[in-house]
């Protein structure tokens, strides 16, 4: 199979070459922020580090970390490294966990972001013959604008659908022959369900999907691939670092290549901050070495994952990150035990349920309770008479094996859990209400 490389000289460069780029760019970036961002200068002074201490990528560990709290502290302009007159765009996080974070872009920053997303589309088999259907949200959210820019760079015909209006999404998909779908995995699953219900699967021409912005499991990937008849690719990014396209999956589908000419990745122990050797699980940290307006040094993402430099059959040499295994922000602590929604989802999909569920955490008599409401599939629902209890019991056992604690299970009728057109709301934690 011939694969289209967007920038093979960069994406397949030797380790030495990548290190050389990283070192040169890091040295320059550290000096730039030290001289232009008082917030950084202060952080570096507190750690007694000067730009002269950073001579290569090997010195990266000497720099202080920056966290989401710093971004909130410095809101809105405190980390800006270029005059506002040089900036052309602002994007923002959804702000679900507190004050919003705003990120700034020069034209150069937008170009490199588009490059990263273009690489992701090419890696999913995209060319200028494709019709790229983008139903990530547009606006302050980076999903829509990122994939849109990448698709233009590839030269694909771009459908800026944004999220919502599922009937129109499906109609355009059929009428205009969309071949690559970009959205959240939960919306892809919903589109698949809706297309099959309408009996329109024969009329869609989709071949691939690029799905990110929320956690999803391998089981969910298989479900989406089956229901839409496509190959489903993962993409990773975060507004703070630029947006989607920081890392993306290739045809091998065993982790996402990080665009190492723009971002340096480290894995640290989330408790001690110590850098961990390759292959160990820990918190992912990024340094953006080419961004001008909003460069972050050693940004703690809160995502738990593993890095791997094993040779990839696609030919790309950039390091691969595993799918995040959990986000310390998403992590629930129930009865003192760490629970990730992705663990619950794995159990449900393994037992033949779709990814339509909600987790309700509460506190009764000073003790935590967890209930998982799960939609039955229509087939289960029609033969459920007298078997509900049996099915619920089976799930309770499987969840206990996965989580180590008892979770109540409540099976509900198909379609009774609200569908999402953006990020699915999986968790309702009532404990903070008390
Ligand atoms: Zn690869």
Per-residue pLDDT of 244-283, as tens digits, reads: 999 999 999 999 999 999 999 999 988 789 999 999 888 9
pLDDT in tens, 350-393: 888 988 899 999 998 888 999 999 999 888 888 766 688 899 99
Residue 353's alpha-carbon distances to 84, 219, 326, in angstroms, are: 50, 10, 21
Q: 11: which 2 tokens?
A: 């994406």
Residue 432 has pLDDT above 90, yes or no: no
Nearest to 424 by CA among 132, 211, 142: 211
Nearest to 306 by CA among 277, 346, 270, 344: 277
Mean pLDDT value of segment 416-424: 77
- In angstroms, what is the span from residue 250 Cα to ligand 1's centroid? 5
- In angstroms, what is the span from residue 254 Cα to ligand 1's centroid? 8
Task: Report all structural domains of the chain as residue ranges with CATH numbers, in order of start.
Answer: 1-328 (3.40.50.12780), 332-429 (3.30.300.30)
Nearest to 161 by CA among 174, 150, 148, 179: 148
Nearest to 321 by CA among 261, 266, 390: 266
Torsion from C-alpha of 7, 9, 11, 17, nearest 10 degrees: -150
The answer to whether 84 and 102 have CB atoms below 8 angstroms apart is no
Q: Residue holding tokens 């588009």? A: 114
The pTM of the full predicted model, rounded to 2 decimals, is: 0.80
Residue 2 has pLDDT above 50, yes or no: no
- In angstroms, what is the span from residue 257 Cα to ligand 1's centroid? 7
**Quick one: pLDDT at residue 366?**
85
- In angstroms, what is the span from residue 311 Cα to ligand 1's centroid? 8
SS3 content of the chain, % helix, strand, coil (to 5): 35, 25, 40
Residue 130 has pLDDT above 60, yes or no: yes
- In angstroms, what is the span from residue 10 Cα to ligand 1's centroid? 13
- In angstroms, what is the span from residue 238 Cα to ligand 1's centroid? 21
- In angstroms, what is the span from residue 325 Cα to ligand 1's centroid? 20
Work out the pLDDT band at 327, boundaries 50, 70, 90: low
**Measured at the alpha carbon of residue 308, what is the angle toward residues 404 and 23, in degrees to the nearest 5?**
130
- In angstroms, what is the span from residue 308 Cα to ligand 1's centroid? 11
- Taking the C-alpha atoms of residue 27 and residue 295, their distance in angstroms, rounded to an integer, is 13
- Taking the C-alpha atoms of residue 131 and residue 408, their distance in angstroms, rounded to an integer, is 45
Mean pLDDT value of segment 156-178: 96
Q: What secondary structure letter does DSSP report for 277?
A: P
- Taking the C-alpha atoms of residue 222 and residue 228, their distance in angstroms, rounded to an integer, is 10
Phi, psi values for residue 101, rounded to 5°:
-110, 130
Instruction: Lowest mean pLDDT of 115-119, 150-154, 232-236, 400-404, name the range.
Output: 400-404
Q: Any alpha helices (H) in 15-80, and if so which ranges?
A: 15-36, 38-46, 68-73
């Amino acid at each position: 199979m011939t694969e289209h490389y967007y920038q093979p000289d960069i994406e397949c460069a030797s380790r030495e070459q990548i290190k050389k780029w990283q070192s040169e760019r890091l040295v320059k970036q550290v000096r730039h922020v030290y001289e232009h961002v008082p917030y950084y200068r202060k952080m570096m002074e507190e750690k007694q580090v000067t730009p002269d201490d950073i001579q290569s990528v090997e010195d990266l560990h000497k720099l202080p970390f920056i966290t989401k709290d710093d971004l909130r502290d410095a809101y809105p302009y405190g980390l800006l490294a270029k005059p506002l007159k040089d900036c052309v765009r602002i994007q923002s996080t959804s702000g679900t966990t507190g004050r919003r974070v705003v990120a700034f872009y020069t034209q150069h920053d937008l170009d490199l972001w588009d490059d990263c997303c273009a690489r992701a589309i090419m890696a999913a088999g995209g060319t200028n013959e494709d019709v790229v259907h983008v139903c990530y949200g547009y606006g302050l959210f980076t999903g829509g604008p990122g994939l849109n820019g990448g698709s233009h760079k590839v030269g694909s015909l771009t459908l800026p659908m944004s999220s919502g209006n599922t009937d129109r999404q499906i109609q355009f998909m059929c009428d205009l022959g969309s071949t690559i779908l970009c959205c959240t995995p939960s919306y892809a699953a919903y589109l698949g369900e809706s297309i099959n219900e309408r009996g329109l699967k024969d009329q869609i021409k989709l071949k691939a999907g690029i799905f990110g912005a929320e956690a999803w499991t391998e089981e969910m990937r298989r479900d989406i691939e089956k229901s839409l008849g496509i190959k489903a690719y993962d993409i990773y990014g975060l507004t703070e670092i630029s947006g989607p396209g920081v890392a993306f999956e290739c045809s091998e589908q065993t982790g996402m290549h990080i665009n190492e000419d723009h971002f340096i990745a480290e894995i640290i122990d989330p408790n001690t901050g110590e850098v961990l050797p390759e292959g160990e699980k820990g918190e992912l940290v990024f340094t953006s070495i080419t961004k001008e307006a909003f460069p972050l040094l050693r940004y703690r993402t809160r995502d738990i994952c593993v890095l791997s430099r094993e040779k990839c059959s696609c030919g790309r040499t950039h390091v691969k990150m595993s799918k995040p295994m959990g986000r310390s922000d998403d992590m629930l602590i129930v009865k003192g035990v760490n629970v990730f929604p992705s663990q619950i989802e794995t159990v449900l999909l393994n037992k033949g349920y779709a990814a339509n569920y909600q987790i309700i955490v509460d506190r009764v008599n000073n003790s935590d309770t967890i209930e998982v409401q799960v939609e039955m599939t229509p087939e289960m629902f029609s033969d459920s008479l007298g078997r509900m209890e049996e099915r619920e019991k089976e799930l309770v056992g499987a969840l206990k094996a996965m989580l180590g604690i008892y979770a109540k299970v409540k099976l509900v009728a198909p379609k009774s859990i609200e569908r999402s057109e953006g990020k699915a709301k999986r968790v309702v934690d009532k404990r903070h209400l008390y």
